[in-house]
């Protein structure tokens, strides 16, 4: 069996080559998943790079990304497969018009590959080319729907009553992401390696900003990272994600901001925060002369 990565450092270096700045924990889990042939369950707050990790691994492996976006009400027909009923009906009508056509012959014909509509899970199993399967926001589906995943995650196969068991031609790398909106089943967790991705520390977030936002100065990137860290320490309905940090940094660049002051932060707070109560709370801190934002805090020179 050939492996995708030679060492943990190989994973980290190659991810950095596509501008995904991983730490040793992330690189280590990706390396182990490759060696052990196991899926990775990635949990953590929204917007911390969980989905991007799967996309970046697909990119560095030269693999096709197949994505199943989970949602409430997702069922087998959207996740695994369904039969093309309209096409089957037309074939039945056409065949019945022929004399002597037995039902057994018709049934064998209409329940064949020609009438099968593959969905992301089955598509990943049947793929002959290298594949990364992303099962995104798995915590959004009902507990019952998780049962659809168990056979795939443990044996990399799918059972179709009319066709039998279809086994993977090559083992895909599988990422499941969760925002912790509900507790996942023990059966699903047992089949996966676990990775928690939290908000990055200030130095790493600064490095991400410098990498992802062209032409930003180190001083401005440092100030962005410090202000975002301070905002996340507040009691908010939703803390700024890394993607929102990057949106804010790009906004400041477009506005020609070289140094963030309280007025600038207040005027652009809606890029970072998406609830009015959070915006009000943050802007109050920005305007507070005695707060940390003024005295030695994020607005102060480094």
Among residues 148, 177, 196, the one where a domain terminates is: 196
Count up the domains in the chain and report the number.
3
Residues 50 and 147 in one domain: yes
Among residues 118, 140, 172, the one where a domain terminates is: 118
pLDDT in tens, 21-44: 999 999 999 999 999 999 999 999
pLDDT in tens, 161-183: 888 899 998 899 999 999 988 88
Predicted confidence at residue 67, as pLDDT, reads: 97
pTM given for the model: 0.85
Residues 31 and 174 in one domain: yes
Q: What Cα–Cα distance (Å) separates residue 192 from each residue in 1, 39, 208, 210, 260?
A: 20, 5, 28, 33, 43
Residues 68 and 213 in one domain: no
Among residues 140, 171, 196, the one where a domain terminates is: 196
Residues 40 and 157 in one domain: yes
Predicted confidence at residue 274, as pLDDT, reads: 94
Domain that holds residue 225: 202-287
Residues 52 and 136 in one domain: yes
Residues of the chain with pLDDT under 50: 289-290
Predicted confidence at residue 154, as pLDDT, reads: 87
pLDDT in tens, 91-123: 877 776 665 566 666 777 788 888 889 999 999
């Amino acid at each position: 069996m050939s492996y995708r990565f030679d060492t943990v450092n190989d994973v980290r270096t190659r991810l950095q080559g596509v501008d995904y700045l991983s730490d040793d924990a992330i690189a280590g889990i990706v390396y182990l998943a490759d060696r052990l042939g196991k899926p990775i369950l990635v949990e953590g707050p929204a917007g911390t790079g969980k989905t991007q990790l799967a996309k970046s691994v697909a990119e560095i492996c030269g693999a096709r990304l197949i994505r199943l976006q989970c949602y409430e009400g997702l069922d087998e027909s959207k996740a695994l497969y369904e039969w093309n009923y309209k096409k089957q009906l037309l074939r039945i009508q056409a065949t019945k018009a022929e004399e002597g056509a037995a039902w057994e012959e018709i049934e064998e014909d209409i329940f064949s590959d020609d009438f099968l509509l593959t969905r992301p899970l089955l598509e990943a199993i049947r793929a002959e080319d290298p594949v990364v399967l992303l099962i995104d926001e798995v915590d959004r589906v009902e507990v019952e729907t998780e049962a659809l995943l168990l056979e795939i995650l443990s044996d990399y196969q799918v059972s179709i009553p009319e066709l039998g068991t279809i086994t993977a031609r090559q083992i895909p790398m599988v990422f499941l992401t969760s925002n912790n909106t509900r507790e996942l089943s023990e059966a699903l967790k047992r089949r996966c390696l676990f990775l928690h991705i939290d908000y990055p520390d200030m130095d790493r977030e600064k490095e991400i900003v410098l990498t992802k936002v062209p032409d930003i100065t180190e001083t401005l990137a440092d100030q962005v990272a410090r202000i975002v860290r301070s905002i996340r320490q507040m009691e908010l309905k939703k803390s700024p994600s890394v993607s929102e940090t990057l949106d804010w940094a790009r906004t400041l660049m477009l506005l020609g901001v070289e140094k963030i002051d309280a007025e600038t932060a207040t005027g652009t707070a809606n890029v970072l925060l998406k609830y009015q109560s959070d915006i009000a709370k943050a802007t109050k801190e920005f305007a507070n002369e005695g707060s940390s934002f003024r005295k030695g805090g994020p607005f102060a020179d480094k």
